[in-house]
Structure 1
Amino acid sequence: MKLKLSFAQSKIIDKSIAVTGSKSETNRSLLLQALFPNVAIQNLSNSDDGQVMQKGLATSHGIVDIHHAGTAMRFLTAFFASQEGKEVVLTGSKRMQERPIKVLVDALRDLGAEISYEKNEGYPPIKITGKTLTKNRVSLPANISSQYISALLLIAPSLANGLELELVGKITSVPYIKMTLALLGQIGVETKFEGNLIQVAHKEKVMDSTLVVESDWSSASYFYSIAALSEVGTKIRLSAYKENSLQGDSVLAQIYQDFGVKTTYSGTQITLEKVQECDLESVDYDLANAPDIAQTISVTCFGLGMGCHLTGLHTLPIKETDRLGAMKTELEKVGAKVAIDHESLSLEPSQNIISNVAIDTYHDHRMAMAFGPLGLKTTLMVNEAEVVSKSYPDYWKDLETLGFRVDTL
């Protein structure tokens, strides 16, 4: 599906949007519910990834195809490895079969898991024969994707002797690790995170509890971008969010102050208000703890004619696509000057925006959604726009609610 985006109305927006539950919290909560069925969940994400995770957890034998869902691949690898009597082949899309899984497989094997590669060493598809894992000590590199770390932490309370996980080196994506530990704490699992050592106690049964999934802050990033690119006076109300969020991307509220956007909390609603124009020539952020908002920020800066230098992005090349390479290519299509290396993106200040460009999305939901707000500044097309269903199926409909014109070509 190819869409054409434009914005013909006043650029002062005053609207309310209900955003789907966090994909990150949803998938963690679903795995905990599979281990402890007396855990209830509210406000589940309606994303493709959430549905794939649910379907996978309900399978005990045969092929489990998680398509593009990287979180599900990591979490289900750990889950099935620890489930005595279950035997599956875990596979995914062509791109998923190019995304590494070796670090997690090696760690699970160290704990006694039985996992083999069906095609290429270190990559899905993988065959998993579930076993009772009794070993309880393992180490991982600290600078890898937090999903590998969280996968082990989530199954830890079900392991016979719990888990002691050592992270070797400088830890990145700390908020996602803390999110996982906080959810474990909410169902009564004892955890400890000191220095580079994480301990999770064994838990035979947990108390009856309900995990309420907060709406997705990664999805909120696109509305922050829209507010920043709008005129002073714009107000966008989003639900359901909380001030003390478990999600690392909640740093948006702080970052977007630099772009003139103020965040106000009221109950479970936040209001994003454009209170002043941004007078900065360039910004510099280390996004090691929130890499998923890098695409949004770079498009915001381009739309405002600003420059940016974003670092801490070493996990982006192994996402749904090589996000650093893809952002360079697509930003340059619309007139930007961009430089990248293995973990950073630099954008030069420029007032030149090329109209009627078709943005390629590379099977990556965040590529499509990050460029959406640029429709406030120019007319552009988005190829394979349906990819947003991976995390936010209602995205284009919600942009229409804000006043965007969204036409199918």
Structure 2
Amino acid sequence: MNLKLSTNSQYIIDDSQLNITGSKSETNRLLLLKALFPNITLANTSNSDDSEVMQKALAGNDEIVDIHHAGTAMRFLTAYFAVNEGRDVVLTGSSRMQERPIKILVEALAQLGIEISYQKEEGYPPIKIKGKKVTASKVTLAANVSSQYISALLLVASKLENGLELTLEGEITSIPYIKMTLALLKDLDISTSFEGNVIKVYPKETVESKEMVVESDWSSASYFFSLVALADAAKITLSSYKENSLQGDSELVSLYEKMGVKTIFQNNKMTLEKQAGFKYQDVNFELNNTPDIAQTIVVTCLGLGIGCHLTGLHTLKIKETDRLEALRIELTKLGANISVTNDSLTLLPSSTINHDVHIATYNDHRMAMAFAPLAIKVPIIIDDAEVVSKSYPDFWNDLKELNFEVSEL
């Protein structure tokens, strides 16, 4: 399904309200914890494809588990099935998932005595996992890897007989996502410590019955920060968000303040407002802790006619697609002057944007959603637009609520 997007020549949104689904990151962590501790209940969970795949895999008893494009599910379920004594599972996914590395996590689990074998290419899914009781408790891991490898180990750690002592070697990246995992464990009264480069999780057989309410997804909110920045005038209220969020992408507030968006928190809601008369200038952001919002930011900058230099993006090479290369190709089609390296992106200021360009999405939900707000400036076409269901199934309907013209080609 290809969608053409456009708006009125003057785009103004006056105090609209949207309900955003629960955070995919929090939901998937809590789904795994609920599988380990069935007496907890969850509220405001994500309705994303990734979370549905995760839930189905945890609830089923299949010998072959296919998680499609869901990278978080691949990492978390690898650890979950590894410590599920007596359970043998082949964990597989889409053709792109079979190109995304899993070796770092497999080798970490091997340090705990877990036997995992590759079914096709070494280092990549599909993998065969032989679940066992774990008595070993020490793992060493490179610190600059995806935080999902680290969180996968931390989430199952309290169910290990002797807990887990995880030593991270080098400079740690994506610290907010590690802290999110530890905060959720703390909410369940699971003891942890994070001192220097050593994280400890202590064993716990049972937890008290408790309802865990998922905060709405900050990554999903990023597209509305972009929309407000690009609008002639806009005020949008999103629920349910808190100022002191566990989610790393809450850094959007300070980043978009530099692009003319004011954020106000009140009554568990967040209001985004365009600042009239704001003086725009090029931005330079280090996104080591928040790489998932790089796509949104660079498209915003193109729409505003300003330049940007974004660093700390090395993990984008192994996402749903090589996001840095995908951004270079698609932004160039729009007329942008952009260059990328293995961990950075540079966009030069430009006053013109090509219109009616087909944006390829590469099976990547964030490519579709990051480019959508640009329709405020020029009509654009999003190819394979249904990919948004991976994290935000209601996205196109929500844009219609905000007076975007969305038509199927």
Q: When the two structures are superposed, what TM-score results if normalisation uses the length of structure 1?
A: 0.99
Deviation >3 Å, runs of 4+:
none
Partner of 1:82: 83
Whole-Å separation in 2 of the counterparts to 1:144 and 1:242: 28
Partner of 2:45: 44
Secondary structure of the residue aligned to 2:34 is helix
Whole-Å separation in 1 of the counterparts to 2:276 and 2:324: 30
Partner of 1:170: 171
Whole-Å separation in 1 of the counterparts to 2:211 and 2:165: 27
Q: CA deviation at 1:290?
A: 0.3
Q: How does 1:327-366 map to 2 (within 5 A)?
A: 327-366=327-366
Q: CA deviation at 1:281?
A: 3.0
Secondary structure of the residue aligned to 1:245 is coil
Q: CA deviation at 1:275?
A: 1.5
The answer to whether the 8 Å contact 2:260/2:280 transfers is: no
Q: How big is each residue's C-alpha offset from its partner over 1:206-247, in whole Å with a ceiling of 9 and x where there is no partner?
A: 111111100000000000000000123x10110011111000
Secondary structure of the residue aligned to 1:259 is coil
Partner of 1:218: 219
The answer to whether the 8 Å contact 1:9/1:403 transfers is: no
The answer to whether the 8 Å contact 1:134/1:160 transfers is: yes
Corresponding letter in the other structure for 1:37: P
Corresponding letter in the other structure for 1:83: N
- Quick check: 1:96 aligned with 2:97? yes
- Name whichever of 173-182 and 271-280 sits farther off: 271-280
Partner of 1:26: 27
Partner of 1:188: 189
Whole-Å separation in 2 of the counterparts to 1:252 and 1:7: 24
Whole-Å separation in 1 of the counterparts to 2:299 and 2:7: 16
Secondary structure of the residue aligned to 2:374 is helix
Q: CA deviation at 1:59?
A: 2.6
Q: CA deviation at 1:309?
A: 0.2
Q: CA deviation at 1:276?
A: 2.8
The answer to whether the 8 Å contact 2:361/2:367 transfers is: yes
- Quick check: 1:201 aligned with 2:207? no
Whole-Å separation in 1 of the counterparts to 2:338 and 2:46: 34
Secondary structure of the residue aligned to 2:387 is helix
- Name whichever of 276-285 and 184-193 sits farther off: 276-285
Q: CA deviation at 1:114?
A: 1.4
Partner of 2:380: 380
Corresponding letter in the other structure for 1:290: T
- Quick check: 1:68 aligned with 2:34? no
Partner of 1:230: 231
Whole-Å separation in 1 of the counterparts to 2:189 and 2:159: 13
The answer to whether the 8 Å contact 2:219/2:249 transfers is: yes
**What number of residue pairs does the alignment pair up?**
408
Corresponding letter in the other structure for 1:107: A
Partner of 2:131: 130
Whole-Å separation in 2 of the counterparts to 1:194 and 1:319: 29
Whole-Å separation in 1 of the counterparts to 2:387 and 2:150: 27
Secondary structure of the residue aligned to 2:65 is strand
- Quick check: 1:153 aligned with 2:154? yes
The answer to whether the 8 Å contact 1:89/1:125 transfers is: yes
Secondary structure of the residue aligned to 2:314 is coil
Corresponding letter in the other structure for 2:53: V
The answer to whether the 8 Å contact 2:138/2:164 transfers is: yes
Corresponding letter in the other structure for 1:13: I
Q: CA deviation at 1:9?
A: 6.5
The answer to whether the 8 Å contact 2:66/2:92 transfers is: yes
Cα-Cα RMSD: 0.8
Whole-Å separation in 1 of the counterparts to 2:365 and 2:201: 33
The answer to whether the 8 Å contact 1:258/1:278 transfers is: no
Q: CA deviation at 1:278?
A: 4.1
Q: When the two structures are superposed, what TM-score results if normalisation uses the length of structure 2?
A: 0.99
Q: CA deviation at 1:277?
A: 4.2
Q: What is the identity percentage for the equivalent residue pairs of Structure 1 and Structure 2?
A: 62
Q: CA deviation at 1:10?
A: 4.2
- Name whichever of 384-393 and 272-281 sits farther off: 272-281
Partner of 1:3: 3
Secondary structure of the residue aligned to 1:306 is coil
Q: CA deviation at 1:89?
A: 0.5
Whole-Å separation in 2 of the counterparts to 1:268 and 1:281: 32
Secondary structure of the residue aligned to 1:207 is coil
Corresponding letter in the other structure for 2:321: T
Q: How big is each residue's C-alpha offset from its partner over 1:267-311, in whole Å with a ceiling of 9 and x where there is no partner?
A: 111000001344233100000000000000000000000000000
Whole-Å separation in 1 of the counterparts to 2:393 and 2:9: 24
